[in-house]
Amino acid sequence: MSGTVVLAAAGGALVAAGVALVLERSLSRLVVGMLVLGNGVNLLILTGGGPAGRAPILHGVPPGADRRPMNDPVPQAMILTAIVIALGTAAFALAIAYRSGRLGDSDDDDVRDDIEDRRVTRGRHELRTQVRARRREFREWSREQRGQIRGARRELRAGIRAERERRAVDDPGDLDDGDDESGSDR
């Protein structure tokens, strides 16, 4: 196996382990998971930077020295920046964990749900329950209205039929409703 494949596999393993640790509820595992995840991403960026070459900054290469092309310095600069940012983030997270441990009532370092989050979730649940109840009421009301409309339509149709039958009995030659729009006399 080439070195690049080994680095890529190691980077993938570090990212997977970091994600698994970040998904835990323990604050210390969360911090360690973020660090491992960051290191895995850094390793993947380094792997993506290309095959190994000579150092990027060399002045005056002596004749007969290694003539391989130099590495791209951008991934290395990005990794150095990411390391510094990860160090600052880890220090901040550890300070928060320390402060949380000092203020907390228990000795565990589990990340607990925020009271505000619980209140928002409860409010969302109550709102969802109210919306469902109103939908049910509206459906029942619309069913009743549809039934009333259908009944009124049936009564109207029956009335129209009865009127036509009455007209047919009164004047059997005039089956027309009297709506002659042509205006011609026949």
Answer yes or no: is pLDDT of 110 > 90.
no
Sorted by where each begins, the domain ranges of the chain are: 3-53+73-112, 114-171
Angle between helices 27-48 and 3-22 (to 10 degrees): 160
pLDDT tens track for 132-145: 999 999 999 999 99
Q: What is the CA radius of gyration of the chain?
A: 40
pLDDT tens track for 92-108: 988 887 877 777 655 56
pTM surpassing 0.75?
no
Count of alpha carbons within 13 angstroms of residue 66, beta-carbon side: 9
The class level of CATH for 3-53+73-112 reads: mainly alpha
